[in-house]
Amino acid sequence: MTVKTFSINPEKTAFVKAYLPDSIGGIKYCESRPSVVIFPGGGYEHCSDREGEPVAFQYLAEGYAAFVVSYTCNARFPIPLVDAAYTFYKIRLRAEEFCIDPNKIAVLGCSAGGHLAGCLATMWNDVSLVKTIGCTAEELRPNAAVLCYPVISGVTAPHEGSFKVLLGDEPSRSDLSRLSLENRVTPKTPPIFIWATSNDGCVPAHNSLVMAKACISNKVPMELHLFDEGPHGISTCDKPVSYDENGIRPHVREWIRLSIEFLNKYLNV
């Protein structure tokens, strides 16, 4: 495996770490791999290490290339989205170098990173974003998205901290609505896989529900898994808190397998 790190803005406040499996004869996808671009959570205040490399390794094991994005934090909207869009565009532009298929690139995000991944999945054709990046809208469109216990709505059970970072301490109702992803879904939104836990005390599962409803209303292929129990930020479910009293990993860890099956279907791999 080759690991590369590169900056994505002149200020060097955002970076990408690329995990590129070696090409080995007889191993699937070795000529042109599917890939996943990962946005860790952290309330838009930091990027969680637990939601970066550990998640990337799960997809690497299934033949995917993985890119972990450390985007600009503690910055007003649209700065994080510009980072995300520019990163995605550059990865697609360098597909041949990375030995990936430019038409089989998914985005994945956890918590606030889920909001960022969801922004790209629903706002890829925003005129101002396309103009800022200097590309076509289609070059910014992910082929699929995986949203892990995501921040979605600024109106329905919002994670107030994330929206305060993006919009300031007293955001207007209209601005909150504008950044509520359930309002941004259209029939052109790519297929979306969503999972959360019903007792998440930080980002309520209502966020996942309103996003699922918006996808259904717009006939966007989607899959929703709402597990009964688990704390916020459990990532790959390897922390001790994710074990039951018998020391067995709970079924919530199945999100990894389920999401890969979903991507395999909609990326056609």
Longest distance between any two alpha carbons in the chain, whole Å:
56
Model confidence at 237, pLDDT cuts 50, 70, 90, reads: confident
Model pLDDT for residues 84-119, shown as the tens digit of each residue: 999 999 999 999 999 999 999 999 999 999 999 999
Model confidence at 23, pLDDT cuts 50, 70, 90, reads: confident
Model confidence at 247, pLDDT cuts 50, 70, 90, reads: very low
Amino acid at 225: H
> Which residue would you say has higher pLDDT here, 149 or 22?
149
- pLDDT for 83 equals 95
Distance of CA 54 to the CA centre of its chain: 14
What is the average per-residue pLDDT within 4-33?
82
Q: What is the CATH number of the domain that holds 206?
A: 3.40.50.1820
Task: Please give the backbone phi and psi of residue 172, each rounded to the nearest 5 degrees, phi first.
Answer: -75, 160
Amino acid at 168: G
The kind and range of the H/E element at 195 are strand 192-197
Model confidence at 236, pLDDT cuts 50, 70, 90, reads: confident
How would you label 217-251 residue by residue, b for 16+ Cβ within 10 Å and e otherwise?
eeebebbbbebeebebbbbbbeeeebeeeeeeebe
Model pLDDT for residues 28-54, shown as the tens digit of each residue: 666 789 999 999 999 999 999 999 999
Closest CA to 77 of 132, 27, 30, 125: 132
Model confidence at 10, pLDDT cuts 50, 70, 90, reads: confident
Q: Could you tell me if 184 and 201 are in contact, meaning their C-beta atoms sit under 8 angstroms apart?
A: no
Q: Tokens at residue 206, please?
A: 């209502």
Q: How many domains does the chain have?
A: 1
Closest CA to 210 of 144, 124, 151: 151
Model confidence at 245, pLDDT cuts 50, 70, 90, reads: low
Domain that includes residue 247, residue range: 2-266
- pLDDT for 230 equals 80
